[in-house]
Structure 1
């Protein structure tokens, strides 16, 4: 009798199909209903299996469309097989921390497209926010003979000797989105500082003064630059800033079940807040959930997010992932054929105001009117 939990059995069966090639990258995985019918299990069992596969970076779940096999690598056997089949001369490694966010999913799609246009094949390696796995990816990919690397560093990374070695050896690689300030190389980022500056300026011009900053721990360049943009807006407007309204959630809490309670406690102890700017989409969703618990109906708070949180009525700062991918591939290609002359390309962002339910205003989760 098989004593393996049903959701794990489903998970292992789908993994086996991916490994065997029966399910290939971008293939649609059977629907929840199809899996329920095949295994005679409940919907929650199927959800647990698919969630576990998504957490492992093997599948991508797209609301309203279904579950699809991720464009992923990271297993040495898979990498070696690819190199043997196509040769390493046209391979470029793309090292990413996760496939859970829409921003990274779109970056993967666009990078693969532009690499193919330039005559390269992409090898994707997911580090799952592990600097040790990032180092292993760099070692195996470079030893396999890839032509270059595009690296999206891990969330809590300040220094990685493997990345420093790449720079010292003048190996062609490009940082995308996040970067390490102590490594002088080619870098593509969104205008994180400018996007935060314009958003906070927009809120200040509307009359808000008690604006909360809600963010992951300030441990990477994207968060650092967005935080700096927030502060610069107050300084340039000549308005005193209250950093007691800043909430940088420690990563160990953010990655646990305590994140919602942590933000809820922060909001409950600061009833003077009239607006909140969250520095990631994940933080926007946690904050929206906290609003329901922490704030009275008569205490509206205007919420704006960096990146689309998928919450109706919530404005957000949109990154141009297509342009970032294009510029990253162009820089990498240029680097392959020229001397090492480091440069940092900053891609513009824009504040997106969502469609409204009427011509006059909209109502999100505890929101006042918000439009430019």
Structure 2
């Protein structure tokens, strides 16, 4: 589903190695089996087997047939180990990253940026996924803090009913940076895209192409500040262009893209929702999808109704995987994940060094860019005639 800059078995190998290095797995501890790792990460047994073989080759684990794999040695591997850099020997820092989930449309590039920054500053980064579940988020934060991380980067699963563990960190003034959203009523550092401005930019593009009947496709917006901001930007663009917003055209019950570790996504059900919506409101000329995979479902729904993109319906969305030659390219709003990772890490280092502990951390917003692809065009004269 997603593409990384290195093979999956190496990513898995590095994750387990970091757990050994940081002390999550101690000498003699059993590490997850090939089957357990396959289920946990959603990869093949071949991938997990290669990762464990690499760890055995590094003399970090011993593989015992019929029993499993066990940490062979961990001496010298802890997050207070000494590392050498141009300034001489220093203590390595260990940071934790808790994210809902990631793929090649959003998240992979952000993690890659954070990893580059971590390597540059001779530190370690431990990744945990919450799949949008508050209880998994709380557990991950608690485990990382107990592990002794020097700071945390958190992509919160919710906005209003925030994690109790996050509140504890704020009270303790623990180095913490939130990513992609902010928590209402809590004063803590955050770095995210300016979602209001980005949504305005995308909506203005459609309005300038002559679209006045635009359907907004979103998951349920409850407690998600990023989504709330995108809706606000959509509304503001209409107001500034003097176009009436028709909320009847909004479809805000798309659920298959919500992160969930316990059930497969039901894309078929959501595609049907979009099809039914287009049949109910045949005068819709454009769809603004809050997420990339919603845009893909919208494109399929349009095709199954015997219409074409963009000739009959234009589609725009947030985020997109890397472009490949010959592919159909959606028009999308590109978030600067590389810069986001850099800003997050820089801010975390400042908080760790107490440079900004005496001040109220600011909410840092980054610009998104509009990438025009094959999925948007002017309203056709045929459609215009029908509407008039």
If the TM-score is normalised by the length of the shorter chain, which range does it land in? 0.7 to 0.9
Does residue 1:166 correspond to 2:182, yes or no? no
Corresponding residue of 1:127: 130
TM norm structure 1 = 0.73
Show the 5 A alignment for 1:247-326.
Answer: 247-251=251-255, 255-257=265-267, 258-294=269-305, 296-297=307-308, 300-308=312-320, 312-326=328-342
Does residue 1:87 correspond to 2:102, yes or no? no
Q: Distance in 2 between matches of 1:285 and 1:242?
A: 23
Question: Cα deviations across residues 152-201 of structure 1 (Å, max 9, x unaligned)?
Answer: 11268732111111111111010011232232100000111101001111
Computing the radius of gyration over CA atoms, which structure comes out larger, 1 or 2? Answer: 2
The Cα of 1:368 is off from its aligned counterpart by 3.6
Corresponding residue of 2:216: 213
8 Å CA contact 1:268–1:295 kept in 2: the answer is no
Q: Distance in 2 between matches of 1:143 and 1:318?
A: 36
Q: Distance in 1 between matches of 2:274 and 2:280?
A: 10
Question: Cα deviations across residues 4-32 of structure 1 (Å, max 9, x unaligned)?
Answer: xxxxxxxxxxxxx97xx9962499xxxxx
SS, match of residue 106 in structure 2:
helix
Q: Distance in 1 between matches of 2:12 and 2:202?
A: 43
Unpaired segments ≥5 residues, structure 1: 1-16, 28-48, 61-67, 70-76, 355-361
Q: Distance in 2 between matches of 1:169 and 1:22?
A: 33
Corresponding residue of 1:144: 147
CA RMSD of aligned residues (A): 3.4
Does residue 1:199 correspond to 2:202, yes or no? yes
Corresponding residue of 1:111: 114
Q: Distance in 1 between matches of 2:15 and 2:136?
A: 24
8 Å CA contact 1:152–1:179 kept in 2: the answer is no
Count of residues in Structure 1 that have an aligned counterpart in Structure 2: 304
Match of 1:223 among 218, 223, 227: 227
Q: Distance in 2 between matches of 1:22 and 1:261?
A: 36
8 Å CA contact 1:95–1:150 kept in 2: the answer is yes
Match of 1:57 among 41, 46, 59: 41
SS, match of residue 216 in structure 1:
coil
Corresponding residue of 1:183: 186
CA gap 1:94/1:260 in 2 versus in 1, 3 angstroms: same
Corresponding residue of 2:365: 346
Unpaired segments ≥5 residues, structure 2: 1-7, 17-33, 45-49, 52-68, 81-91, 259-264, 380-388
CA gap 1:253/1:96 in 2 versus in 1, 3 angstroms: closer
